[in-house]
Amino acid sequence: MKHGYAFLLSAALLAPTHRVIAQGENTTFAWKFEEGNKLMEEKLYNQSAEIWDKLVQEQPDNSNLNYKLGYCYFHSYNQKHKALPYLEKAAAQRSSGYGGFNTAGYDPFDTKERNAPAEVDYYLGRAYHLNGDFDKADASYQKFMDEAGKSHALYGVAARGKEQTANARKLLADPKPYQISNVGKVVNQDHPDFSPVLSVDGNALFFTSRRIRPDSSNSGVIDPVAGLPFENIYVSYKDREGNWQAPELLNINPPEGGHLASVNVAADGQTLFIYRDDGGDGNLYESRLVGELWSDPVLIGSDVNTKSWETHAAITADGNTLYFVSDRKGGIGGRDIYRVVKLPTGEWSKAQTIGSPINTPYDEDAVFIHPNGRTMFFASKGHNSMGGFDIFTTEMQEDGTWSAPVNIGAPLNTVDDDVFFVTTADGRRGYFSSDKIGGYGEKDIYFVDLPEEMEAEGLTVLKGFIIPPPGTSLPPSTILYVTDKSTGEVKAYKPRQRDGVYVVILPPCKEYNLDYRVDDKTIHTEDIYVECETAYQEINKEIYLNPVSITGPASIVDLPKGSPPGSKEKGEPSTTGEPSKPGGTTSGEYLTDAQLKEKGKTHTMPDASYAAEYAKYYEYNKKDIDQAETDWKGFIDTVVGLIDKNGKATIVIEASASKVPTKTFGTNENLSRQRMEDARTRLIEAVRARGKNPDVIFLEAVNSLVQGPAYKGDYINTEKYGKFQYVKLKTR
């Protein structure tokens, strides 16, 4: 909080905090009293509370001491829940005229002062509010407002408190069907873990933690405000079974002291946006993943950073718009959301507020922009907040304006601060941090399964692995070129060095050429068409640097869900990466055609034609191929001919399932993989039946999709869903 104890206790606080101790006065009490006041002024509330707690034990009926203890607990980092009984006692004694002191003459620095100030009723209202006792909260807020008058600095926030209790009653009466779960003890520990950010592929979770480092190097370095270690950034990756692995400390964290916090991450997880406390001036930085190490953070360019407080940022998947939070002058309220856009020069534009209806006279924070570029989540104390920050969502309209923000509701939002919230690319799962009872630490990271109606629309994500031979690492020269065949625009994507992961956002209704290269030599290429469906689509591809025999021991169904085969042994960090420059390329995921030309590089689209292609469209829940089918026999003829001519044939298999639910196969993802496996098996059988050795057929790539329109209960609409239920094979 930016306002301190000195601001809240009226003009009496302008008096000096040091005083001469009168003769005969209890010097031990007086010293503790003065020390508690000084710590409050320095906003070291946890330490101050320790002193007031001892003094309250000595004088349990002292209203002033109870007030100071309750006030410090309320403003502490992690003891807010302890404030209520002390504020209750202080308010009750004051209201009865305890000690005969005149409220107007309240002196917070007088050791003989035993009364509490008028502000006690405001903070008692806040404590009741956080405890869910809205009637008592309203009564306390109103009592303070009646006595303090409209000229008091807290009158407006007390009135706002009553508005928020009314909002809370409505939202809690209509809870949403959210299924909330703790991410688990592998990620969460016994210290606060918060501010989660997720890569688009869902396989990298960055977060901020106050835990003791694995090597205990920060065990004696304590943040005096929180009484805990300073904030550090960690990352956890999913393994091939989809389980989060032990978090890794990023190499950019300060060796001693100083806060570094996760803010957001680019689409592919290779550019991290960071908050750093620069001596009280919070600023936003970015760091690039170079090989397996993160580059030194650099300030984001343009006028994103100022002498004001910049707290959070989020970048669109195309890297062309950056949204950020600042409390600079000229906004609507305290902290507002601003944006900058990428200029043709590659620099950021000047910052502009996104204005109403998103920004309010109250604070906004923690902006997150979905990969579709249109759906925004953010935290706000305005709108119909239940209390403190709530999470809201808004949609960009066709004319570029934003829809009226909607509170995402309880139980995800609470009467306390709910700030950090991000979603997966499909919009069906959100990650957030909370201090809910029953966690592993003071704050834990949770995920929530969201209703189907919150699924993202108009977004296609191409993601997968480039898989090196077992026991080897990915060559640093590996790169994916994506060419828009209608415009000729080229973008170059760098896979993640540690595991070959790549992520590409593809606008729908277009055909693309994919060109995977190592040392500038094409190792796989194909053309794909992205359907014009409004529902979320995900294309999963696994590309083999060295094609593997189709008769290998591992079936297609067992292809990796997380880290690919061969990724257990990490290679040496790449030295070819270039840390981003302020205002330059910040998405970290690609270089545009123009940027490639600036670097003296050009890309020629390779021939992606195949000798033969086969497609089989299925009825609901079907997956087999008839060996006697004419088109299939013709495809096998071509495969056999390639074996006779070249001694081998390469194969690409693509399988798809629609979004019509399947009880038979459990999930559509499983159905898609089973169709892929069935096609592999039938291919092996057919080639053997022709007297050829299937060991010389090599898998170049496999694609698994779940796509098409969202299921609306009309499964008999075969035309609507049927074109997304297929298996396709290509050979050359």
pLDDT (tens digit per residue) in 248-283:
999 999 887 778 999 999 887 789 999 998 888 899
Q: If you average pLDDT over residues 517-535, what whole number do you get?
A: 88
Taking the domains of the chain in order of start, what are their residue ranges?
5-173, 609-732
Is a pLDDT exceeding 80 seen at residue 234?
yes
**Residue pointed to by tokens 């296609």:** 460
Select from 717, 689, 721 the least CA-distant residue to 708: 721
Residues 274 and 266: their CA atoms lie apart, in Å, by 12
pLDDT at 572 > cutoff 60:
no
Question: What local confidence, expressed as pLDDT, does residue 149 receive?
Answer: 92
Cα(270)–Cα(293) distance, rounded to whole angstroms?
Answer: 10
Q: In whole angstroms, what is the distance from residue 380 CA to residue 367 CA?
A: 10
Predicted local confidence at residue 435, as pLDDT = 78
Average pLDDT, the chain: 86
Q: What is the separation of C-alpha 359 from the centre of its chain, rounded to a whole number of angstroms?
A: 21
**How far, CA to CA in Å, does 216 sit from each of 111, 209, 487, 538?**
42, 14, 54, 41
- How far is it, in rounded angstroms, from Cα 139 to Cα 146? 10
The DSSP H or E segment spanning 69 is helix 63-75
pLDDT confidence tier of residue 598, bands split at 50, 70 and 90: low
DSSP three-state, residue 92: helix
Question: Residue 501 forms beta bridges with which residues?
Answer: 465
Which of the pair, 422 or 281, is modelled with greater confidence? 422
- Give the whole-angstrom CA distance, residue 70 versus residue 91: 11
In DSSP terms, 549 is beta-bridged to 698
Of 166, 89, 155, 96, nearest to 122 (Cα)? Answer: 155
Query: In the CATH scheme, what is the code of domain 609-732?
Result: 3.30.1330.60
**Distance between CA atoms of 66 and 85, rounded to whole angstroms?**
9
| Gap between the Cα atoms of 245 and 325, Å rounded | 31
Question: Would you call the peptide bond into 507 cis, given omega within 30 degrees of 0 as the criterion?
Answer: no
The listed range with the strongest mean pLDDT (134-143, 472-481, 519-528, 588-597) is 134-143
Q: What is the dihedral of CA 248, 251, 257, 263, to 10 degrees?
A: -70
Give residue 629's pLDDT: 94
Name the pLDDT band for 157 (thresholds 50, 70, 90). Answer: very high
Q: Count of CB atoms within 10 A of residue 196's CB?
A: 23
Q: What percent of the chain has pLDDT over 90?
A: 61
pLDDT of residue 386: 96
Phi then psi for 578, rounded to 5 degrees? -120, 115
Overall size of the chain counted in residues = 732
Tell me what pLDDT residue 718 has.
64
| 8 A C-beta contact, residue 526 and residue 650 | no
Residue 79 has pLDDT above 70, yes or no: yes
Q: pLDDT at residue 14 above 50?
A: no
Q: Which two tokens stand for residue 78?
A: 């992690």
Please report the pLDDT score of residue 597 as a whole number. 62
pLDDT of residue 507: 86
Report the C-alpha gap between 443 and 189 in whole angstroms. 9
Instruction: Tell the residue number behind the tokens 């299925």, with chain if given.
Output: 618
Sign of CA dihedral 234, 438, 166, 177: positive
- Cα distances from 131 to residues 84, 85, 95, 108, in angstroms, run 8, 11, 22, 27
The CATH fold of domain 5-173: 1.25.40
pLDDT (tens digit, 9 = 90+) per residue, 549-562?
998 754 455 444 44
**72 exposure class (CB count in 10 Å sphere: 0-12, 13-18, 19+):** buried
**pLDDT band per the 50, 70, 90 thresholds, residue 591:** low
Query: What type of residue sits at position 382?
Result: G
The tens digit of pLDDT for each residue in 347-366 reads 999 999 999 999 999 999 99
CA distance 353 to 374: 17
Judge whether residue 15 has pLDDT over 60.
Answer: no
Q: Is 446 helix (H, G, I), strand (E, B) or coil?
A: strand
- Of the candidates 392, 431, 538, 485, the one whose C-alpha atom is nearest the C-alpha of residue 197 is 431
Select the more confidently predicted residue: 534 or 164.
164
Nearest to 350 by CA among 583, 172, 63: 583
Taken in order 578, 271, 398, 484, the sign of the CA dihedral is positive
Amino acid at 419: V
Query: Residue 295 contacts by C-beta under 8 Å, 6 or more apart in sequence?
Result: 252, 287, 288, 289, 577, 579, 580
Predicted pLDDT at 455: 77
| Pair 561, 242: CB distance under 8 Å | yes
Rounded distance, CA 131 to CA 83, Å? Answer: 10
Q: How far apart are CA 549 and CA 547, in angstroms?
A: 7
